[in-house]
Amino acid sequence: MQLPATPPLDLTALFGGTRQRHWLEIGFGGGEHLVWQASHHPDVGLIGIEPFVNGVVSALGHIKTAGVANVRLWPEPAAALLDALPAGAFARVFVLFPDPWPKLRHHKRRFIQAANLDRLARLMAAGAELRVATDDPDYGHAILAGLLDHPGFAWLARRPADWRERPADWPPTRYEAKARAAGRNPMFLRFERRG
């Protein structure tokens, strides 16, 4: 995928005019979740962002095996693409198990922070869903605080199970399995883009 000389990127052209809804996954890891969503939602155009070559290669293998045609990959850091995408274009955004950058001096590298939440709010349509997962308690609290403070998002949780249990249409990832094997319980956060 190439960025246009003048944003925004034309998603209709990117998907050949065949997709009415678009979803975005930032940091798709090996692509398992991205391709699962693509195969279960063939009417949706999915864009996956992952700067690490091993993850991109893995995702390409999953795409080929599943035979899906509704995925586009951005194999670079997210910022340039996020700034080139059209406002209000996405009905769902996934940020699953982002790097927690646990050392205090590295917290500025965390993806979920004010500037990126502003970007996501711009990209998401009213009523769109943001799904975030983490197994790092410190980062989880920072994510929750940042999203609760942001005027563009409303938390969808109504009971503890709403953030302790993964929804049925959210397949497990290898990062979740790794966390559980290490005795860490992930947080599954769902937010709605306010209208």
Catalytic pick among 99, 118, 138, 169: 99
- Can you tell me the distance from the alpha carbon of 39 to that of 55, in angstroms, rounded to the nearest whole number? 18
Annotation says 99 is catalytic: yes
The one-letter amino acid code at 100 reads P
CA–CA–CA angle 87, 109, 55 (5° rounding): 75
Closest residue by Cα to residue 68 from 59, 58, 56: 59
Angle of helix 32-40 relative to helix 53-66, nearest 10 degrees, comes to 30
Active site residues: 99
